Each structure stands twice: as C-alpha cells, then as structure tokens.
Structure 1
Amino acid sequence: MVQQKVIPLSLDTVIKPFSKKLDLPLTKKQITVLQINLGKRCNLACSHCHVEASPRRTEELSPEICNQLIELIEKFPQIKIVDLTGGAPEMLYGFKPIVEAARANGKQVIVRSNLTIYFETGFGDIPDYCAQNQVRIVASLPCYLSDNVDKMRGNGVYDASICALQWLNSLGYGQDPNLILDLVYNPQLPVTDNFSLTPNQASLEQDYKIFLQEHFGIVFNNLFAITNLPIGRTKLYLERKKLYRPYLHFLAENFNSTTVEHLMCRDELSIDYLGNVYDCDFNQMENLPSKTYDGETLTVAKLLASGTLDLIAEIRTAHYCYGCTAGCGSSCGGTLVES
C-alpha cells in the first residue's frame, strides 16, 4: 500500500491574511515617531526577545547611518518623538549623539532600557546622562515578582532591575514631571494551548505600583502591557512547543477592529542599524521593509533625498499583526483601547 504524502496547509489557508481582515487598506497618518533600532548587541539574551539580541551579536549602527539619522531629525519638525531601542541601545554606537541631536531639536527622546546595563563596565554614567537630557526611560520589567523576571531574562536580573529603578528614583525619575519612568509588562510564554489575552493594563499598573512601593519604595509613571508577538525567540519557542499556529489562531480569533485606528505603525517609521525603513519594529525583525508608491524599498538616504517622510503607499502586514489587534491591542506604548 502506497502512503500518500501529507502536505501541511499554508498559514493563509488556516488563518485569514491580516490584510483581508481589514475593511480598508492600512495606510500611514502623518509621521510623528522615529523609532531607531541601534543594533542587536545586548548584555542580556531574554527568552522572549523578538530582536534575538544577545552579548554575542555584533550588529550596530555605523557612523554614516548615524549622521543620516541626525540629519533626518534636524530636517523634519513633524518628528515629535525619537524612540531608541536595540539590543541595549545605551551600549550601541550613536546613542548619545542621537539623544543630543534630538533634544537640541525639541524632540522627546525615549530609550527602551533593560536597566541592568547600568551595572556593566563603562555604562555607570547612563542614569545621570539620561536625567540631564530628560530622556524618557521605558524599562522592561516583565513581572513585579522575581521568579518570573529571572525565568524570562536570566538569573539576577530582577535584583539588578530593582537596584536600577531605585537609582533612577534617586535622580527624580517617576517624580519629576520631566523625568518619566515607564515599565513594560510581558506575559510569560505559554506552555499549553490554553492561551489568554494580556491582563487589563490599568489594573495591572496598580498591582505593580502597590507592590514595588511597599517592598522597595519604587515609584514610576506608567505601565505598558505588551502582547508577545510570535516572532524572534518567541516564535522559535512556540514552534518547539508546537504552539505557533494555535497561538496565531488564538490572536486572530480575538481580533478587535477598534484597535486598528490606534496601531503604532500608522504614525511611525522604524529604522534599522543599516538605515533601512520599516513600518514597525516587528516588520523590521521579519525583514518586511516599507515600500514606496513606486514599489521601491525605502532607506533613510531616500527619505533625505526626497525631502518628505510621506512616501509609503500602504503599511505591509503579516499574520503576526493579529498580536497588535487582539483584545485591547498592543503597541510599544501598551494597550490601544480600553477593555
């Protein structure tokens, strides 16, 4: 008896493509946010990292691209926020020059910090530097309990993070209105197909604030509850557990159309360390570059040459976009709509 070869169904057969879920094409609003990934080198190697950053990675910004980014910041007043990420952005080339150029041009600067970088040799000046330049710090603390944090980020990370937050508080962060300190919650990676949506952000923020204040005297401004998108190390983990497709299906089943208007890809450009342009950080990690009206891929050099930031015909989407639109939605600034 000849056995027939079983051909697995494509994702598009099992899950409706995200673009077909929408009533209208997903288009850009005016660009106000420039998110720059300075590279993939990091002092940590977190289990859920969609960038797959680690101490072994060497990719980072070059002087040429750094200069182009500074020119872009200086050229376009419509850019209100410069959002720096990595890897650990504080340890990568271009961090301080870009911070200073952005602040000199009246932009808000966000740095997405793992907090532990402050205790690495050569980076002990970063908290004071950020305070002096009124940098908004968005710090990863995926749970307020130590076991969960160390499980996701490595042994000792929780204790170092607590010390870093106390350090930032001593400089005025979380208290001075010009020194904003936000924390980021990430759910634990699932071990079964009994998935759940990200908890209510406002309620979770109160839990964080009460616990951290009572146990460590720590204060902060906002909590951002972020959904784990199935890309990078999260995707690899889900595939090993045979949970990748079930998780995508769960996210798609919980699609909330009211989140679409508020998606972070609508008003931002995501730039990688090579100067390529993407609609968002997730597309960047999945190598899905932005396209112009003529179908060309975009770079910072092309933006500068054109004299406009409005060259993108339509935001490119993929199945993982359901992660940003499930339940209350998810973005680099937390949930998108109230529950």
Structure 2
Amino acid sequence: MTPFAEKLNSPLTKQQIKVLQINLGRKCNLACTHCHVEASPKRTEELSPEICEQIIQLIRRFPQIETVDLTGGAPEMNYGFRPIVEAAREQNKEVIVRSNLTVYFEPNFKDIPEYCAKHKTRIVASLPCYLEDNVDKQRGAGVYNDSIQALQWLNQLGYGHDPNLILDLVYNPPVPITEEQFTLPPQQEKLEKDYQVYLQEHFGIQFNNLFTITNLPIGRIKDFLHRYQLHQSYLKFLEDNYNPATVSNVMCRDELSVDYLGNIYDCDFNQMENVPAKTAEGENITVQKLLEFDNLDVIKTIQTRPYCYGCTAGSGSSCGGALLS
C-alpha cells in the first residue's frame, strides 16, 4: 500500500478548531459488530469528575467551539453526560448526542428523550438499515423494534419536525466476510429518500438527515477482517477508491477528539488506535495542556494512518456523513 501521507500533495493540516468531540466512556447497553470503540455492557471505563471539569472549562473558555459532540459507548450512560450538555448549552453551543436509541428503555435512562428535547440537543442515531433483519444482524436481536419505538417517541417530542429538535440517522454497510462483500456506502441523498419513504409509510417516522459512514478497519470491524484474513485486502480496497476531492472536507481538520482520560486526538478513529495528536514540537496533548496553553489551535499537522483511506474513499466519510454530494 501507498502510505496515506504520500497520497497527499502537502501535509494534512489543522484549520481553526470548531468541534470538540468527547468520548465519555466505553459503557454501552449494546455490543454491535460494527463498533470501532468496542463498547459493551461489560466495559466500565468512563470520564472522571476531574477530567469532566477540565472539559467544561474548555467549553466555557473558547467561543470558537461551535459544536460539542458526545459519543461513547452510549454517551448517556457515562459520567459527565448531563453536566457537559448543560455547560455547552449555557454557552449556546450546538450539542450532538450520538445515541443507539435502545438506551432509552434501560432502567435509569428513560428520561433521556425528554432531557434531550428540553436542552435542544441534536440527536444522531444509529440505524444501519431501514430493514429489521439487517439491523438485528449488526446490533442484536430486538434492536430494530426498540429503535423504531424510540424514533416514534422522539417524533412525539418534536424531533424530526421542530426546527430546534434535529434528528439524524446513520447508515453503515454490513461488515464484510468475503472480498466480494467489500462496499462503500450508497449515494447518500438517494438512500436518505429510501429511508424517509420506508420509515414514513411503515411507522410514521420523520427525521432530518441520513449520514452514510464507511466501515473503517478499527475495533471490532478490524477483528472481523483479521478473522477472515481480509484486513490488508480491505485497506487496499479503500486505497483503490481514494478520492482526492474529499481531503479538504475531512472532519479531523477542524475537530479535536477527547478521550475519557483527557487525552487529545485528531479524530475518534485515531483515538481508538491510540494515535495521539501532537504539537509542532512533537508533544502529546491533553485537555489540561490546552488550558495551560490557553489555545486550542496548537496542532499543525494531523497524524495519518492507512485507515484514513476510509474517510477519503468514494464520496468520503465523516461523523457528519458523506463529504461530497
């Protein structure tokens, strides 16, 4: 393979930071086959009160942060979820909650839909297909039906039709177990219409946007690929579909990714592969150091790896879906 950095005409550089994406921890009520975080009900890692307070300081200090993006695990289940939501909304920042939807039916979390509506958080919900069989194969038996009920619940609260309550869905392809199954997501706009028609006709569900996301060979997907001796050939498939037009739009350019220990990464994928972001002097960065620097824009060059081809293949892929229409 060609190293990703060699594909570029110049080093991949940061722009001004606008997005703070925070992984609150690995606790989740599901253990999905496509989870690059390898979250599950057995995981216990989560944010500490000390790191939570540092993150809140960061949110309050830097007006340039426009979006606070909360992930997990199930972010709603991990420490710091509510304090960070409330601190960010107090600063009039957009808050994204990346939800698996089924967490709403777990004990102690049944008030989450109303809480999110009260604070006008944007919900980005995983629904890797609009058909039941495909969803349950990826995410577990019964997940589809719970997800449908959760979406109907959110619609009743105003999500999907109130302009202040945005509800987005996320599609990702099935995890391949043969080379013939290697695929990039379909054209996002067309698939969005298919989702809209099916979910409206069958369940009366409305949502705002569909995001299509490429499977990156990280976490459980990487384990599956290794199990079937497909890891290298899948990386080559992504390289073969590299599209240089996507590079200027990749999400890592204006984003910082924060883990539950307070370490900083260029993106969530680098976080899961333990590839820390670095200053121009080669120093690893933490939330505490950003507070000491009094500066979010201390990263010049983004750390790249072969899986970066996943974000730049075809129409591109990011936490906000395709990079090109």
Asked if residue 139 in structure 1 is aligned to residue 125 in structure 2, the reply is: yes
Match of 1:305 among 270, 284, 292: 292
Cα distance between partner residues in 2 of 1:110 and 1:41: 18
Contact 2:17-2:65 within 8 A present in 1 as well: yes
Give 5+ residue unaligned stretches, structure 1.
1-14
Provide the residue aligned with 2:67 in structure 1.
81
Whether 1:168 aligns to 2:143 is: no
What residue is the counterpart of 1:64 in the other structure?
Answer: 50
The equivalent residue for 2:96 is 110
Q: Alpha carbon RMSD of aligned pairs, Å?
A: 0.5
Other-structure match for 2:220 = 233
Alignment match of 1:325 (pick from 297, 312, 318): 312
1:55 aligned to 38, 41, 58, which one?
Answer: 41
How far apart are 1:200 and its partner, in Å?
A: 0.3
Gaps (5+ residues) in structure 2?
none
Partner deviation per Cα, 1:189-216 (whole Å, 9 max, x = no partner): 1121122221000000000000000000
Classify the secondary structure of the residue corresponding to 2:299: coil
Return the match for 1:271 from 258, 266, 269: 258
Q: Which residue matches 1:11?
A: none
* TM-score, L = length of structure 2: 0.99
Q: Does 1:293 align with 2:280?
A: yes
Superposition deviation, residue 313 in structure 1: 2.5
Structure 2 residue aligned with 1:8: none
Deviation at 1:293, TM superposition (A): 1.2
Give the aligned partner of residue 98 of structure 1: 84
Query: Which residue number in structure 2 is paired with residue 150 of structure 1?
Result: 136
For residues 191 and 276 of structure 1, the distance between their equivalents in structure 2, rounded to whole angstroms, comes to: 34
Aligned counterpart, 1:199 = 186
Secondary structure of the 1:82 match is strand
Kindly indicate whether residue 30 of structure 2 is the aligned counterpart of residue 44 of structure 1.
yes
Mapped to 2, the partners of 1:263 and 1:285 lie a distance apart of 17
- The number of equivalent residue pairs is 324
1:24 matched to which residue of 2?
10
Distance across 1 between alignment mates of 2:114 and 2:189: 30
Task: Report what 1:254 is aligned to.
Answer: 241
Number of the residue aligned with 2:108: 122
Residue by residue over 1:10-46, the C-alpha shift from the partner in whole angstroms, topping out at 9 and shown as x without a partner, is: xxxxx11101110000000000000000000100000
Alignment deviations for residues 242-301 of structure 1 (CA, whole Å, 9 cap, x no partner) = 111111000001100000000000000000000000000000000000001111100000
How far does residue 78 in structure 1 lie from its aligned partner after superposition? 0.1
Computing the radius of gyration over CA atoms, which structure comes out larger, 1 or 2?
1
Distance 2:289 2:176 in 1: 41
Residue from 173, 193, 206 that aligns with 1:219: 206
Distance in 2 (alpha carbons) for counterparts of 1:304 and 1:293: 17
Distance 1:241 1:299 in 2: 37
Deviations 1:86-108 (A, max 9, x none): 00000110000000000000100
- The two structures have a TM-score, normalised by structure 1, of 0.95
Moved over 3 A (4+): none
SS at match of 1:325: coil
Q: Report if the CA contact (8 A) 2:177-2:224 is conserved.
A: no
Match of 1:167, SS state, is helix
Secondary structure of 1:239's counterpart equals: helix
Q: How big is each residue's C-alpha offset from its partner over 1:52-108, in whole Å with a ceiling of 9 and x where there is no partner?
A: 000000000000000000000000000000000000000110000000000000100
Does the 8 Å CA contact 2:173/2:183 hold for their aligned counterparts?
A: no
